[in-house]
């Protein structure tokens, strides 16, 4: 997840270990709420409304970010580490399924028993 401000990436969060702690988010949200209280003291009405809307939007984004962090912490890792492979395949258990039964009458190439034609020249037997 990336956080953008003025077209620039501020932070990139990929794993739970990189996530901001709840106390940092709480401090940031409290700071914005205090700034919102102080914004009501701005004398210019249009500036006061602009600042209040910006702070309210920022507080909403902080709340949404916290809920995203909570959701991501509840999701289990989709990848499972295993100590050994699911089944061990030994080379002895691998057999060549094609047995050579004879030779092609046309070209003399060896033919597999499960084929009705020569794999080299295509002649049917």
Predicted confidence (pLDDT) per residue in 16-25, tens digit: 444 456 688 8
Q: Is residue 54 part of a domain?
A: yes
Considering the domain boundaries, does residue 103 fall inside one?
no
66 Cβ partners below 8 Å, 6+ apart? 22, 25
By CB neighbour count within 10 A (0-12 exposed, 13-18 middle, 19+ buried), where does 111 fall? buried
pLDDT range class, residue 13, cuts 50, 70, 90:
very low
Total of domains in the chain: 1
| Distance in angstroms (rounded) separating the CA atoms of residues 82 and 73 | 22
Domain of 50 in residue numbering reads as 20-74
On whether residue 109 sits in a domain, the answer given is no
Comparing 76 with 29, which gets the higher pLDDT?
29
Is there a domain that residue 3 lies in? no
């Amino acid at each position: 997840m990336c956080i953008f401000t003025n077209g620039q990436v501020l932070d990139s969060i990929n794993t739970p270990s990189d996530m901001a702690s709840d106390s940092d988010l709480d401090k940031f949200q409290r700071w914005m709420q205090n700034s919102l209280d102080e914004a009501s003291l701005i004398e210019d009405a249009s500036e006061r409304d602009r600042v209040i809307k910006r702070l309210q939007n920022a507080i909403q984004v902080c709340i949404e970010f916290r809920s995203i962090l909570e959701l991501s912490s509840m999701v289990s890792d989709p990848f499972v580490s295993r100590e050994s492979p699911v089944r061990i395949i030994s080379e002895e258990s691998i057999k060549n399924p094609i047995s050579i039964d004879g030779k092609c009458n046309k070209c003399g190439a060896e033919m597999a028993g499960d084929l009705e034609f020569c794999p080299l020249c295509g002649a049917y037997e």
